[in-house]
Amino acid sequence: MKKALDLFSLATLLMLSLVQALFTPNTNIKIYHANTLLISPFSPTSQLSWEHTVLQMQSNDNARLHYLSSRASARPIVPIAAGMTITHNPSYIVRARIGTPPQTLLMAVDTGNDASWIPCTGCLGCSATSFDSAKSSTFRTLPCDATQCSQVPSSSCGGATCGFNWSYGGSSFSANLVQDAVGLTSNPIAGYTFGCVQTAKGTSLPPQGLLGLGRGPLSLTSQTSELYQSTFSYCLPNLKSANFTGSLKLGPENQPKKINCTPLLRNERRSSLYYANLTAIKVGRHVVCIPPTAFAFNPSTGGGTFFDSGTMFTSLVKPAYTAVRDELRRRMGNATLSSLGGFDTCYTVPIVVPTITFMFPDMNMTLHQDNFLIRSSYGTTSCLAMMAAPDNVDSEVNVIGSFQQQNQRIVIDELNSRVCVSREPCSKLPRLPARTQLSWQDTVLQMQSNDKARLLYLSSLVAGRSIVPLASARAVVQNPTYIVKAKIGTPAQTLLMAVDTSNDAAWVPCTGCVGCSSTTYNSAKSSTFKPLKCGAAQCSQVPNPSCDGATCGFNMTYGSSAVTATLVQDNVTLATDSIHGYTFGLYRSTFSYCLPSYKSVGFTGSLRLGPNSQPLRIKTTQLLKNPRRSSFYYVNLMAIRVGRRVVNIPPSAFAFDPNTGAGTVFDSGTVFTSLVKPAYTAVRDEVRRRMGNATVSSLGGFDTCYSVPFNVPTITFMFSGMNVTLPQDNFIIRSSSSTISCLAMAAAPEGNVNSVLNVIASFQQQNHRILIDVPNSRLGVAREPCS
């Protein structure tokens, strides 16, 4: 059945900044680790070991880092995800009393965010604990003409109340802008402006809200500058101290009198972050050799170092991390080295390095072992609790995480433009009821995972880049493609759209469509919607245009389906940046994408738009042009290597021929790589030869499956000027229990035009950065673990 669809020309949609807040005079506020309190919504509900807890926090940090990279400024990058939602739990929380009479919520504190928000009663998708505004005599909504309405992201004014949309980690929410009394101690703050969340999607939002402590103009610090002179400090207790609390101190009079400080640096592209000039790192008494470029502050790229309470483990640019790690390993001599998740330096014997020191102008931050080693429950295993920044856009950013900040007083003195650090054992405070703990191993991996996502966000945020989350549609919408969240119309309506490098046009199902899904776009609700007339230039660019009336229509096929559509324009937003006049496919521009594993359900990959958002170092090969199939990204595949052996394939199997369509293309819409029969047979037979006498079986279209481990480490596609080496995760697909593994490629179908076409598909592209640079006629590939 044909479907009535609308093809979109993407017009401008502006994304604004965040919410305004007001606070109280000098005061000490209790601050808790999120997993420690019996009453904390972030705590695990079942009995889990410390190992499990550490891994969970690693995973949380991964989501966190991704969130941070997706909140960017100027240069466009669109985040992509595979379908599994990433867990994103905040590290530390404070008690906040909202309204009159007060209702208590445990809000996450975050130095990397400016705005505050809480879940309100009636919210769809929020936690059970929420704020009931109907019970507060001081609650009021803000109208559309309020000054604050122009300061929130994606503001909408469909009614009298100002609303806005925002994303956090792999989640998103819609909120109304409101004001009410907020108390952190006995003195409530009147007229505190925050978001009252109405709908939430995803599992990564802090369950009871967030208190923004960032550096930007809408943060607590800026909005209370007259009260606190833009000064506050915090001390984070040890994450294993389930029974102790730290403190948040507001105002200059509450701060230590004797403390070393270093200047704060200002990045105008991302004013929220607390940058400082890290100049060197000392392991024990030895200053390790790190090039100055590793620490260089660069507002244009986001390079530099900043303090962040939401990232758990410190992340250093690769040269810096490698130097620190190698010096620690050198001091450990011949002790047996192991790894745990993202931690690559673990030992079962005592670590002999007493301290690691971060050296800033006029200030040294000396870390004792509790600040750079993470230990198992029984102390049998210890790991260096730092990691290298991911090898992508984040590689220029150093983040001093909360693990390294524990039991230190961190003073932010914006008035005098300085950050100060002094040792303070703030874990030694009155005991609270103990809470169950996660296992160490799972917790470490969880925290590493969250840190990775957090760094993605941070780096794009500081460099002024935009990222839109992308997911595996198999997990989200039961479709074997990749998807992005698109906001369409005014006010915005959210749809999950498939991304396809082999199609030019964008289209969505519209309300009233016959044969479409239940989720559609209602054009009648958009004030910026307009159909295109038959005389519009775009009407001549769509397939099979028809102009029986005044509106341009067209017909097209997709796979085995067919659609009938009307050509229209409306506002579409993929990231925080606007895209103006985007009518047809990405083939006319420079962009890149990284597809996460199809098993990853969170929005962890990314689609980056524009030449300034791309990797600086990436190997490329020439793009070939086929006028008959101008949408396809053809390249010159020359050979294939299985392990270290180049298999015998006739050159005709790879020959590019525009007349027949023969050659090799990269395609994100195809799941498994398809090779012309001579090429596939040669690759398959070499794999089988290496497997010896192991019993071979088949599974559907996969004819080379085994119940024993594959002994082929890599398969390499060899192009002119570029080799793409696939590890096993890119050419072997395993059953859920890992009892059966299959070669995840197939022979091109016989008897049709596709029998001469090699397709490098999404399974083989996963965890690689694929660069499409049409102006320079090149395609690049670099390994990037975006899962």
Q: Residue 83 has what pLDDT? A: 21
Q: Residue 376 has what pLDDT? A: 75
Q: Which of 330, 191, 219, 236 is nearest to 35 (CA)?
A: 236
d(CA 62, CA 87): 8
Mean local confidence (pLDDT), 443-456: 51
Q: Which of 400-409, 474-483, 491-500 has the highest mean pLDDT?
A: 400-409
The structural domain count of the chain equals 2
Q: Residue 35 has what pLDDT? A: 47
From the candidates 61, 114, 308, 667, give the one annotated as an active-site residue: 308
Mean local confidence (pLDDT), 379-399: 80
Is 80 exceeded by the pLDDT of residue 730? yes
Domain assignment present for residue 344? The answer is yes
Active site residue 657: no
Q: How confident is the model at residue 434 (pLDDT cuts 50, 70, 90)?
A: very low
Q: How confident is the model at residue 47 (pLDDT cuts 50, 70, 90)?
A: very low
Residue range 575-609, pLDDT digits in tens: 554 343 333 222 236 888 888 876 665 556 778 87
* Ramachandran class of 39: left when φ > 0, alpha when ψ lies in -120 to 50, beta otherwise: alpha
Q: Residue 446 has what pLDDT? A: 55
Which helix H or strand E contains 324, and what residues bound it?
Answer: helix 318-332
The enclosing domain of 646 has a CATH number of 2.40.70.10
From the candidates 110, 180, 577, 667, give the one annotated as an active-site residue: 110
Mean local confidence (pLDDT), 446-460: 48
What are phi and psi for residue 641, nearest 5 degrees?
-115, 130
More confident residue, 432 or 552: 552
Is 50 exceeded by the pLDDT of residue 303? yes
Active site residue 110: yes
End-to-end CA distance of the chain: 37
d(CA 239, CA 64): 17
Domain assignment present for residue 165? The answer is no
Q: How confident is the model at residue 503 (pLDDT cuts 50, 70, 90)?
A: low
Q: Residue 356 has what pLDDT? A: 97
Q: Residue 199 has what pLDDT? A: 94
Domain assignment present for residue 161? The answer is no
Lowest mean pLDDT among 178-192, 466-480, 540-554, 626-640: 466-480
Residue range 196-255, pLDDT digits in tens: 999 998 877 888 898 888 887 778 888 778 778 899 888 888 766 554 467 888 888 778
Domain assignment present for residue 108? The answer is no
Q: How confident is the model at residue 104 (pLDDT cuts 50, 70, 90)?
A: confident
d(CA 203, CA 476): 13
d(CA 82, CA 470): 6
Q: Residue 581 has what pLDDT? A: 35
Largest CA distance in the chain: 82
Length of the chain: 787
Residue range 616-672, pLDDT digits in tens: 789 999 999 888 677 789 999 999 999 999 999 999 999 998 877 788 989 887 778
Amino acid at 710: F
Q: Residue 29 has what pLDDT? A: 38
d(CA 168, CA 209): 11
Sheet holding 714-719, edge to edge: 645-646, 637-642, 714-719, 722-727
Mean local confidence (pLDDT), 286-291: 97
Is 70 exceeded by the pLDDT of residue 488? yes
Q: Residue 205 has what pLDDT? A: 82
Q: How confident is the model at residue 185 (pLDDT cuts 50, 70, 90)?
A: low
Q: Residue 421 has what pLDDT? A: 97
Pair 274, 419: CB distance under 8 Å: yes
Lowest mean pLDDT among 164-168, 292-296, 361-365: 164-168
Domain assignment present for residue 304? The answer is yes
Q: Which of 35-39, 397-401, 460-464 has the highest mean pLDDT?
A: 397-401
Q: Which of 378, 443, 435 is nearest to 47 (CA)?
A: 435
Q: Residue 196 has what pLDDT? A: 95
Q: Which of 308-317, 360-369, 664-673 has the highest mean pLDDT?
A: 360-369
Lowest mean pLDDT among 76-90, 100-114, 544-558: 76-90
Pair 771, 618: CB distance under 8 Å: yes
Q: Residue 378 has what pLDDT? A: 65
8-state DSSP, 510 = B
Q: How confident is the model at residue 738 (pLDDT cuts 50, 70, 90)?
A: low
More confident residue, 751 or 27: 751
Mean local confidence (pLDDT), 539-560: 68
Q: Residue 372 has what pLDDT? A: 96
d(CA 620, CA 773): 10
Mean local confidence (pLDDT), 27-53: 43
d(CA 600, CA 82): 5
d(CA 443, CA 437): 9
Expressed as residue numbers, the domain containing 341 is 257-426+438-463
Residue range 150-163, pLDDT digits in tens: 887 778 887 789 98
Q: Is the pTM of this model over 0.85?
A: no
Q: Residue 494 has what pLDDT? A: 80
More confident residue, 24 or 612: 612
Mean local confidence (pLDDT), 356-378: 92
Is 70 exceeded by the pLDDT of residue 1? no
More confident residue, 570 or 549: 570
Lowest mean pLDDT among 275-289, 358-372, 376-390, 427-441: 427-441
Pair 27, 347: CB distance under 8 Å: no
% the chain with pLDDT above 90? 31
What is each CA distance from 474 to 388, 520, 602, 672, 731, in whole angstroms?
Answer: 31, 19, 12, 14, 19
Domain assignment present for residue 28? The answer is no
Beta bridge partners of 634: 624, 665
8-state DSSP, 142 = P
Which helix H or strand E contains 494, and what residues bound it?
Answer: strand 493-499
CB-hemisphere CA count at 13 Å for 244? 15
More confident residue, 754 or 497: 497
Q: Residue 328 has what pLDDT? A: 96
Domain assignment present for residue 637? The answer is yes
Q: Residue 347 has what pLDDT? A: 94
d(CA 748, CA 679): 10
Q: How large is the C-alpha radius of gyration of the chain?
A: 27
Domain assignment present for residue 392? The answer is yes
Pair 291, 319: CB distance under 8 Å: yes
Residues 6+ apart with CB under 8 A from 695: 706, 707
d(CA 607, CA 770): 9
Answer whether the bond into residue 658 is a cis peptide, omega within 30°. no
